[in-house]
Amino acid sequence: MRKVNQKQTLHGDTIIEVMMSLAVFSVIAIMTVNLINSGVNNAQRTLEYTMARNEIDAQAEALRYLHQGYVSERQYSTTGSKFANIWDSIKNRALAPSAISTDYFDVNNNDNNCHKIYQNISAYKPFIVNSRAVLPDTDSNYDNSLYASSVSDVLYTSFDTNQEASIYPRIIYQVGGTTSRSSGGKSSGTSSEGSLVEKRVFNRIRNPQGIYIVAVGENEVNLSKSKYYDFYIHTCWHSVGSKSASTITTIMRLYNPEVADQ
């Protein structure tokens, strides 16, 4: 009788030990999985921030290029100047300082929801620069059209309420046809050589997601005579593993040479 009780006691201790071991293993496994998921999410967020910053920097450089091109061409006749036309189009989209509220772009005031920001985005005249449509030489053609007539291709303005970023802030391009190469400022015709990208140029913006630019003039009364224009390059997206929206905003100031020269 004593031996049976000893065996039952031993079996009972073994079951308790196994259950405790499984519990400890489960806790360690859950903690390990959580740490792995946290690491993956952090890496994903870092990548998203890097990609968003790259898109912002590309837009800033494109704006600087257009501005410097306009400044450089002002010593010549500006009639039909490609940079003058683009710069004028940008100025026409500028808002008065009193017409813009920085709180509107704060996701904390929009329930951490990017969609609420984009619902009324058209009121702020947003735009995106298509850097792939900017041609450096004056005699180049853009899809067999003069550069001056392609301002609408350089400045994308067809924003709606569904411009949220599905992954991270980015600009999605689509096929826009072939382009003409130029040599010494003269068109040399359509090229049949090169890569697939060169043959089927992805130079038309199909959909900018989670990124847009808002211009604000300095002069409250006459925006065209503003001393400078502030360009707010905004991004907003919902990163993986994060309940709140992620945002990056860069403000760049470009001076108006028409007023500076007076």
- Identify the bridge partners of residue 253 per DSSP, sorted by sequence position: 230
**pLDDT value of position 215:** 94
**pTM tops 0.75:** no
Q: Which of 69, 123, 83 is nearest to 101 (CA)?
A: 123
Query: What is the pLDDT, as a whole number, of residue 212?
Result: 92
Amino acid 182: pLDDT = 35
CB atoms within 10 A of CB 174: 10
Q: CA 234, CA 230: separation in Å to the nearest integer?
A: 12
Output the pLDDT for position 153.
Answer: 79
Tokens of 61: 């450089």
Residue 15, burial from CB neighbour count under 10 angstroms (0-12, 13-18, 19+)? exposed
pLDDT at residue 1 in the model: 47
What per-residue confidence (pLDDT) applies to 32?
Answer: 78
Contact 182, 140 (CB under 8 A): yes
Q: For the chain (length 262 residues), average pLDDT per consecutive 10? A: 51 73 83 72 83 94 91 69 86 88 65 77 88 66 53 83 79 66 36 46 82 91 89 88 83 87 60
